[in-house]
Chain A
């Protein structure tokens, strides 16, 4: 049995993983079968190529299981990129040692592996510091869209400490902030490496972010679209008064130049128009639609350009 520990939102989540079950194998699986199962699941769940919602977590299970079963070399390679992923809404991933309870009756081979990995674990507990060469560290920090507009302070939880970090305004999803010398301290006299914080902007229900541009929906009443209107538009940075021009169509976009993420240069904010029809569920409402129908007797919505009134 493998124990996997996630640190999310500062709360530990310990789970136990059966390496064979994780790879969909029976304990009698041959090395070829193990490899085949791993390759297939890795292609499916690798966070860089997968669209599955829980790909990252699934892949970690799969990789952990595979490493435990066959591939100490690859484990070493992955360790070299050692990647605790903490943050304010942080995830941190680390092995939590390998229990001796061994579940599936592991043979001597597995016992030996577990012992080896328990030793690795102790090394890992010292972070990258136990290495003789300098290793930079990576972590992820999740901020709100508003923080990207205004700048923010974030607390980043690492294995051994918490850092308070100023995130400048104008940061974009996927960018990195380098904190010089803030990787885990070295014990061998080497200067500590750098800590790289990958910035993740949390999805927002009302705004969609494309790099530095931001999109939001702006539903209009039919008369607002037809006649034009002045409206208050909520933006990530507060209300903005905008003018909808007469004759606006559903699907059209109003560009608010420079109102996207305030990077250099700043992005734009797009209000994507839609038209919402009022319900015809009362007599006055039905009368209003009937009056509209009379006024537009020749209107053909299938050929709106050819319509004569």
Chain B
């Protein structure tokens, strides 16, 4: 992940902003609206976060055992050896949540969930392709 050198005092650095935000490449405060001192700043999950197994379990309301099954099935691909060291990329949040919804709502086992997720990915790619061709 690209993190620019801290630019404290430099261009773009602003007082009162959390430190990581001043490090965010390309971040500029909203130009045309009054910034509110009370407004909260978040972290962009897909670009700036890694989850441990427990954190991911909290974040998607799924127990760790079910997440481990999803790893076994290849739905989630953490880095690191063994559950204690696993780190999941931010994009795992959406995938794990979708998997949990499918498993619960459609009564699917982990293997079936994995197949559905793969097919959904394929459908998404094909639809994007169709849209691009429709514009030609």
Binds A, one of B70-78, B79-87, B100-108: B100-108
- Contact between chains at A135 and B61 (CB < 8 Å): yes
Determine the residue in chain A with the shortest Cβ distance to B40: A165
A76-89 near B? 1/0 per residue, CB < 8 Å = 01101110000000
- Contact between chains at A165 and B27 (CB < 8 Å): no
Q: How far is the CA of A71 from the CA of B98 in the complex (A)?
A: 21
Among A152, A163, A178, A193, which residue has its beta carbon within 8 angstroms of that of B33?
Answer: A152
Quick check: is A43 within 8 A (CB to CB) of the other chain? yes
Q: How far is the CA of A161 from the CA of B116 in the complex (A)?
A: 37
| Given A175-B45, A176-B46: A136 and B105 interface contact (C-beta under 8 Å) | no
| Given A135-B61, A150-B32, A152-B33: A264 and B2 interface contact (C-beta under 8 Å) | yes
Contacts of A215 in B (CB 8 A): 135
Among B25, B28, B136, which residue has its beta carbon within 8 angstroms of that of A264?
Answer: B25
| Given A151-B29, A153-B39, A166-B35: A194 and B44 interface contact (C-beta under 8 Å) | no
- Contact between chains at A171 and B44 (CB < 8 Å): yes
Quick check: is A180 within 8 A (CB to CB) of the other chain? yes
Count of B residues near A, CB < 8 Å? 49
Contacts of A197 in B (CB 8 A): 42
- Contact between chains at B30 and A164 (CB < 8 Å): no
Quick check: is B60 within 8 A (CB to CB) of the other chain? yes
Q: How far is the CA of A209 from the CA of B126 in the complex (A)?
A: 16
B105 CB, nearest partner CB in chain A, Å: 6
Q: How far is the CA of A299 from the CA of B128 in the complex (A)?
A: 36
* Chain B contacts with A in 1-42, Cβ cutoff 8 A: 2, 21, 24-33, 35-36, 38-42
Q: How far is the CA of A42 from the CA of B108 in the complex (A)?
A: 12
A206 CB, nearest partner CB in chain B, Å: 13
- Contact between chains at A166 and B40 (CB < 8 Å): yes
- Contact between chains at B101 and A48 (CB < 8 Å): yes
B83 CB, nearest partner CB in chain A, Å: 18
Q: How far is the CA of A253 from the CA of B132 in the complex (A)?
A: 11
Quick check: is A174 within 8 A (CB to CB) of the other chain? yes
Quick check: is A179 within 8 A (CB to CB) of the other chain? yes
Contacts of B102 in A (CB 8 A): 46, 48-49
Contacts of B47 in A (CB 8 A): 175, 263-264
- Contact between chains at A136 and B104 (CB < 8 Å): no
* Chain B contacts with A in 99-131, Cβ cutoff 8 A: 100-102, 104-107, 116, 120, 128, 131
| Given A48-B98, A150-B32, A151-B28: A78 and B104 interface contact (C-beta under 8 Å) | yes
Quick check: is A74 within 8 A (CB to CB) of the other chain? yes
Contacts of A151 in B (CB 8 A): 27-31
Determine the residue in chain A with the shortest Cβ distance to B29: A151
- Contact between chains at B30 and A150 (CB < 8 Å): yes
- Contact between chains at B101 and A194 (CB < 8 Å): no
Contacts of A82 in B (CB 8 A): 61
A71 CB, nearest partner CB in chain B, Å: 10
| Given A175-B44, A177-B45: A63 and B105 interface contact (C-beta under 8 Å) | yes
- Contact between chains at B135 and A272 (CB < 8 Å): yes
- Contact between chains at A46 and B59 (CB < 8 Å): no
- Contact between chains at B30 and A169 (CB < 8 Å): yes
Determine the residue in chain A with the shortest Cβ distance to B2: A264
Determine the residue in chain A with the shortest Cβ distance to B94: A174
- Contact between chains at B104 and A42 (CB < 8 Å): no
List 15 A–B pairs whose Cβ atoms lie within 8 Å, in order of A's numbering. Answer: A80-B61, A151-B27, A153-B33, A153-B35, A153-B39, A163-B40, A168-B44, A175-B46, A178-B42, A196-B45, A210-B131, A251-B135, A263-B47, A264-B47, A272-B136
What are the 10 closest A-B residue pairs judged by CB atoms, nearest first?
A: A177-B42, A81-B61, A176-B45, A151-B30, A251-B136, A164-B39, A179-B42, A166-B39, A178-B43, A175-B46
